[in-house]
Structure 1
């Protein structure tokens, strides 16, 4: 079964919509966007300054036809199995935890081999991703950076005036001391476990779970064992 995705046109990326999940609570995107039999479902979770994050759920056998856009996008699979395809019959299979970068003006579609949930990060037309990420290749976000004894390792996938997309690895016992950020932030736990403190409350986050920090919310992160996460940070 093939369904056309509803156009998420650039004119729809209005300023200031922010993150559409509650701040201060551990959550998972699978619960936020459950699969509906026979259907494809999409919902914007974040939209600001020309960037957006959309969650998709595709029932087994459904698909989104090949489309091209004037901006790059990153697909990140949370559940199931999907096939990314081009009009020239090229195919790439993704399993949970794997990602795929699509360059601007490249027509790609998505087909679900089983009930699947994935995230789509849409960047600005002029956005330049870190060269460690190769368009048209399947990779795991957590494999892009190593651990280092006693240290925190940062890798900026995207570093622009109004948006940062960062990968971080924490050795056991390391962490970020309490601080606040000038914009909203989403944390995606990629591997291991950590304690997140937010406005005086501590919660544990594990691989596959996420957390929303509101603008200026006081928070800290402390690894329980080795821990990797991705951080999407709006800079206002």
Structure 2
């Protein structure tokens, strides 16, 4: 069974999102689930100490932490520690950075107009 928008994932089967991406020592691992002109959904796993340096995105980006903990800095705001089960939204075109204070997994949803 093939879908129109989702990829790299089984259809018509109950799945655990955090099991769909695995950890790799000293790396950031990603798995794209949706990639269209207006929406992207990607799963990530970060080993402890891995980071994504300051950058911006053309759409609003929601980070949902599925496991572990990350420190996220958005614009000039104080860093936020985001833990399992919580999420944060990073506004379009505003600089943001992520640092894995411990191993963590996240789902990133980016929406553009």
| TM-score, length of structure 1 as denominator length | 0.45
Distance 1:172 1:190 in 2: 15
Alignment match, 1:53:
none
Unaligned 5+ segments in structure 1 are 1-102, 104-125
Distance 1:131 1:176 in 2: 23
Distance 1:131 1:222 in 2: 26
Cα distance, 1:138 vs structure 2: 1.2
Alignment match, 1:165:
41
Which secondary structure does the structure 2 equivalent of 1:225 belong to? coil
Alignment match, 1:199:
75
Cα distance, 1:134 vs structure 2: 2.1
Q: Which one has more relative contact order, counting CA pairs under 8 Å at least 6 apart?
A: 2
Alignment match, 1:140:
16
8 Å contact kept, 2:59–2:112: yes
Which secondary structure does the structure 2 equivalent of 1:154 belong to? strand
Which secondary structure does the structure 1 equivalent of 2:18 belong to? helix
Q: How does 1:38-49 map to 2 (within 5 A)?
A: none
The structure with the largest alpha-carbon Rg is 1
Alignment match, 1:214:
91
Q: How does 1:62-211 map to 2 (within 5 A)?
A: 127-135=4-12, 137-200=13-76, 201-211=78-88
Distance 1:220 1:183 in 2: 15
After superposition, the CA RMSD in angstroms is 1.6
